[in-house]
Amino acid sequence: MTEPELQKKEPQEKPFSLKNEIYEWLESGVFALTVVVLIFTFLFRIVMVDGRSMQPTLQDQDRVITVSLFYKPAPGDIVVVTQPNAMNHSLIKRVIAVEGQTVFIDPETGDVSVDGKVLTEPYIMEKINPSKIGDMKYPLTLKDGEVFVMGDNRNNSSDSRDSMIGIIDERYILGKAVLRIFPISDISVLR
């Protein structure tokens, strides 16, 4: 063959095969499903709020996105807790104090202090009613890997103030809630 004849030859297309087409679609679907599972396992999850303990910040049946990769709890974060408890389900609460910090709840005023400083908490529904300070003994200093959590609706929340929930081992924190995605009218970044 001469050089011009070689240049005229075009690569031949594979003939259409339903079997190959189905195989390619299945391969793409499996790949996409694997990526979605990995993202929802390691990067973020969608969690539904169950109850009124985080009002006014979160409402019952809200959906939030949590992130967990390389997450370390910090005061003020809203977190999902999976530690076994008397409620027999996951909880969504706000981190009040972390390891090494000391928590005190004033039984007369309902003020919450961490390391001797009264917290400024514009996100709470109302101050703690003295009858709702729980059965924990204060001041309470958290050990390594421990977290003290409370709901924003302080008088309607089962949280670290009660020994039935207790101090949270940070290994049981599923992640930090960062975004409310449902209801759609209330989509917002959580603080």
Per the residue annotation, which of 8, 17, 28, 93 is the catalytic one? 93
* DSSP type of residue 40: I
What are the helix and strand counts (H, E) for the chain? 2, 12
Residue 132 annotated in active site = no
Q: Give the list of residues 6+ apart from residue 90 with CB closer than 8 angstroms, or none.
A: 47, 80, 81, 82, 174
Main-chain phi, psi angles of 166, to 5 degrees: 75, -170
* Angstrom distance (rounded) from CA 50 to CA 56: 14
- Amino acid identity of residue 137, one-letter, is K
Residue 53 annotated in active site = yes
* Angstrom distance (rounded) from CA 49 to CA 95: 16
Residues in the chain: 191
Per the residue annotation, which of 9, 17, 19, 53 is the catalytic one? 53
| Residues taking part in catalysis | 53, 93
